[in-house]
Amino acid sequence: MNDKKKHFIAGLAVAIVVALPVYLESVNLFAGLWSAIVSGIIIGVCKEWLDYTRSGKWEWPEFIATICGGVAVAVFIVLMHFAKG
């Protein structure tokens, strides 16, 4: 598995753990979306900062892949929100 897939899965996993409970508890679409996207951004920044301190490289494609994991959860939350009518 390449590194971008791992970053996507990490962003997805963190957003699931953070955003789904936020949305399910509050039933607030805005809270669910922002918690999914922001959690993906935060975990992406943390991981790339760690890589930067170790190797001196910040890899933007990996950062974007991590955010995409959070965005995937945000899309899922939107689908759940509008599917229940």
pLDDT at 85 over 70: no
Tokens representing 52? 């930067």
Cα 85 to Cα 80: distance, rounded to the nearest angstrom = 9
Surface-to-core class of residue 14, CB atoms within 10 Å of its CB (0-12 exposed, 13-18 middle, 19+ buried): buried
Cα 73 to Cα 64: distance, rounded to the nearest angstrom = 15
The mean per-residue pLDDT over the stretch 56-72 comes to 94
pLDDT by residue (tens digit) across 6-60?
Answer: 999 999 999 999 999 999 999 899 999 999 999 999 999 999 999 899 998 999 9
- Global confidence as pTM: 0.89
- The answer to whether 63 touches 44, Cβ cutoff 8 Å, is yes
